[in-house]
Structure 1
Amino acid sequence: MTMNENNANTPDLSVPDHLMYSEDHVWIDTSVSPAVLGVTEYAVERLGDLVFIDLPDEGSEVRAGDEPVELESAKAISTMVVPVSGTIKYVNHAVSDDPEVINGDPYGEGWILKIELDDDEPELLDADGYKKVTE
């Protein structure tokens, strides 16, 4: 996927078809329970190398629009806006111990949260819809 047709220096980034996406650059896999969430490769590229991640507590309740995760890179501090409501069942301690895991594999080992969803049908984008957001 080309993020910006006018910028030849912008790399093509991965947007897996089996995931759903928010306009805030969060991916979610709703095919499993609890649902798995992380930040997209686009977000990782924009933030730069992550150096610190502050995760919420397991068992915490979140609402769509909450910002329970803080991501810090050499460039900026940002938050992950969750696009769903539910209960955080698991947090990926491996990414807080070594944030580089997200940089290297944002859609796999770099997952951030697993949430038991309150709403079975969150309003999310498919891969094609998300690609349009990042163009």
Structure 2
Amino acid sequence: MWQKIIGWFKHLFSRQAPVHREENGLWWQEDKGTVKVGLASRVIEELGDITFLATPTVDEQVDRNDQLIDIEGGKAVETFKSPVTGKVSRVYEGYQDDPTSLAKAVDPLLVEIQPA
């Protein structure tokens, strides 16, 4: 019983930043000084069989509205722009190695950026 009450208080007072969802399917969230960027599952589904994924490399500088993610599926090719200016601090390379695995993920996180 106490654990439920403690969990409720933790949830009540936790200050998780909102997830920003853009019309094109890109989502991003600020988290402890880092901006996490991913794609909505619906976009991946709409693209069909994913055959190619390109993202910047770690330590690469990106500007707001620069090309950030390129993804190619059986039905279309899409390019997504960076929501912020900064330096790429992490790339989730498992998706680079096997782009088809994107279809199995829910709103996959692809890149983390340290804002400038």
- TM over 0.5: same fold? yes
TM-score, normalised relative to structure 1 = 0.65
- Normalising by structure 2, we get a TM-score of 0.74
| Higher strand fraction (1 or 2) | 2
| Alignment-mate amino acid for residue 59 of structure 2 | G
1:33–1:77 Cα change, 3 Å: same
CA contact (8 A) 1:22 1:83 kept: no
Once residues 62 and 37 of structure 2 are traced to their aligned partners in structure 1, the CA distance between those partners, rounded to angstroms, is 13
Aligned to 1:58: 58
Matching residue's letter, 2:40: T
Pick 1 or 2: higher relative contact order, CA cutoff 8 A, min separation 6: 1
1:82 aligns with 2:82: yes
Structure 1, unpaired ranges of 5+: 1-17, 119-135
- Per-residue CA deviations over 1:5-25 (Å, capped at 9, x if unaligned) read xxxxxxxxxxxxx52122332
Q: Alpha carbon RMSD of aligned pairs, Å? A: 1.9
Secondary structure of 1:30's aligned partner: strand
Q: Which runs of 5+ in 2 are unaligned?
A: 1-17
Q: Percent identity?
A: 23
Q: Distance in 2 between matches of 1:50 and 1:23?
A: 20
SS at match of 2:53: strand
**Greater fraction helix:** 2
SS in 2 for 1:56: coil
Please identify the structure whose Cα radius of gyration is greater. Answer: 2
